[in-house]
Structure 1
């Protein structure tokens, strides 16, 4: 943006526009005082604005300094911090991986293929990730040692830590090493999970292809989620869900993963950071709330009393609305279309539509991906936390993609300053409890 105070002579004397101090600070992601510190150190030149009202700075010079220091992008109007990324773009109720419509990618390619493409920009049809024997053995031992009531995210966190301990190259943050760790870690997480009660440990090994492609990871994950035999439409839906959920820009768990990567934590620690945030009910666990709601709708025969109960008690209706989409979540739309081809999903799909229609009388909210995951989990005999498991396994690839980006930035750049609101110093030393009575 051109500095409005700059004169015509200023604009003609330079090939790039002039920026005010405030604009320069925003572009560099620093405070105005730091801008003048750059000037005093000779890293940035300034020119007095006409009339003596502050200084102006050459935009090209500012951008060059930003590239050298690893700048933070200017904060958007919402006040939220923004960071440059080439992974996911969300706009006009659609989202894109590396500029390509993510729903089209997920509809055509398997999860591992989309993950590999997101990491490298190269499409490798037929690529499958393999769990190393030593890492898988360590992860299974750790997971098996947990109490029986442990949740799937508990198991995944433990599996990540166990896998890290047997990877001597985990501290190598070169691109090749990080990618090798990622390709090993994701299948290790899946295969370390215990099979669902009554499920075959290996799943249906005789099943063929899903939508003309071998759904490798989805087929291995299926028996961890349900004892029901895997049919091809269901496997195709699960595989597509994995591909759709790989990334969604700077969601809370992804931001946590980038903070860890900014500190040059190894990729296993980056994934652990993401998993810690994902478990919240407003993030990865949201599909479990939608699962329970759909189960209740099916039991009561209508969404009306269920939605009424949620609204009467001040609870949000799960699976509806998304801050980034004005209409239906494109991930939900894609999964609903696939679920329509799964015969056993018809009742749950109808219940989900009943929820949307009923809630529309109160607020114009559209379905999000959590509701679609709930339809899949309810109709497939999965536990309520199954959607969270799918989310966590899938998003691991996205966290790795963001870590790869962040490793190339200036380390520890995500260091906000707290707005202190405590007592002003100096304060007297505190007394131990009861000391004053002695």
Structure 2
């Protein structure tokens, strides 16, 4: 049997046509992330990931309408969100549970035909944004806001979150973040989703499992922890001494470096640009300036450039979004990729069942209970 690799690093576990990371270049179905981030709406990217081609104008309109038509969530989900202990529950735990519960209200949840799964994908992608926004408002003592069918996905999310029309730059920032986080090859949560549905479990189980994996601070929780770090630093002059102390104590600097990229995360520069614009617009430039200082210092001293989580933190903060909502917003975006991989897994399924390299004791003789010392 082949010797194990810790964390499956370097192991190719499957073939996929959805996204790739080759020579530090991320692409979705062969389209560079830079081109998509600068030119595409999130709805276009959803269509691309699920259909492996860019949409025509008619295709895109159909996708937008389908998402808008399915954004409302059952009242039972709202009531369930209200029942949580809102003083202690983390939004990712709430989201994980709500998505699982959502499956109970879908009469086609266990129907496995391709078209049924495609329709469920639409419903899940549409509703997950509504769940995050509803939870945020409920815990702040506000009533959830219903989506508007004439708004695009990013704008609808901000409208449901804040209860008012968003500014153009805010919509651009959220749309760009959704595009950049949509898929990332066989990351931990995507692999989790594929392992789950490879048993022919239903699509809701796959998304719920993926949310559970994304919840961890070494995956989706990084951007929340970046903002926690920036808040602890407080002022620009404290940035380098704070980071020096962390590095001297051999502590991890969240948002720096990446397991896959050797020369830098290609997504980071897009959110770095948005961070600069938004922090200037909102009079919070210290968060951007502080981030640049940290990035430059860590890169020079540890050879670790910033990843996509690093600047998404100050972008979301500048939009007035609660810090513990950063990872749920990541989930809203990554659901598009999870669904693409789930559909791909269903299309050419084989149970995912790797082996483990055993490192325990050799075979032993069983000793009866009365003879054990």
Scaled to the shorter chain, the TM-score interval is 0.7 to 0.9
Q: Does the C-alpha gap of structure 1 residues 172 and 419 become closer, same or farther in structure 2, counting only changes over 3 Å? A: same
Is 1:85 the counterpart of 2:16 in the alignment? yes
Greater fraction of residues in helix: 2
Distance in structure 1 (CA, Å) of the matches to 2:295 and 2:160:
30
1:117-266 correspondence runs (5 A): 117-120=48-51, 121-123=53-55, 124-126=59-61, 127-128=63-64, 129-130=67-68, 132=70, 135-148=73-86, 149-192=88-131, 193-196=134-137, 197=140, 201-202=144-145, 216-222=152-158, 230-266=166-202
Q: Secondary structure at the match of 1:195?
A: helix
Q: Secondary structure at the match of 1:96?
A: strand
- Residue in structure 2 matched with residue 419 of structure 1 by the alignment: 357
Q: Secondary structure at the match of 2:189?
A: helix
Distance in structure 1 (CA, Å) of the matches to 2:155 and 2:118:
22
- Residue in structure 1 matched with residue 46 of structure 2 by the alignment: 115
Equivalent residues, number: 352
Q: Does the C-alpha gap of structure 1 residues 242 and 254 become closer, same or farther in structure 2, counting only changes over 3 Å? A: same
Distance in structure 2 (CA, Å) of the matches to 1:96 and 1:133:
28
Q: Does the C-alpha gap of structure 1 residues 378 and 259 become closer, same or farther in structure 2, counting only changes over 3 Å? A: same
Bigger relative contact order (CA 8 A; separation at least 6)? 2
- Residue in structure 1 matched with residue 5 of structure 2 by the alignment: none
Q: Secondary structure at the match of 1:89?
A: strand
Tell whether the 8 Å contact from 1:103 to 1:331 is kept in structure 2 after alignment: yes
Is 1:366 the counterpart of 2:300 in the alignment? no
Choose the corresponding residue for 1:104, options 24, 32, 35: 35
Higher-Rg structure is 1
Tell whether the 8 Å contact from 1:226 to 1:382 is kept in structure 2 after alignment: no
Cα deviation, 1:231-279, whole Å, max 9, x if unaligned, reads: 2212211111011111000001111111112111111111011111111
Distance in structure 1 (CA, Å) of the matches to 2:71 and 2:169:
31
Q: Secondary structure at the match of 2:27?
A: strand
Tell whether the 8 Å contact from 1:131 to 1:185 is kept in structure 2 after alignment: no
- Residue in structure 1 matched with residue 344 of structure 2 by the alignment: 405
Distance in structure 1 (CA, Å) of the matches to 2:151 and 2:266:
22
Is 1:347 the counterpart of 2:278 in the alignment? no
Distance in structure 2 (CA, Å) of the matches to 1:379 and 1:288:
13
Q: Secondary structure at the match of 1:381?
A: coil
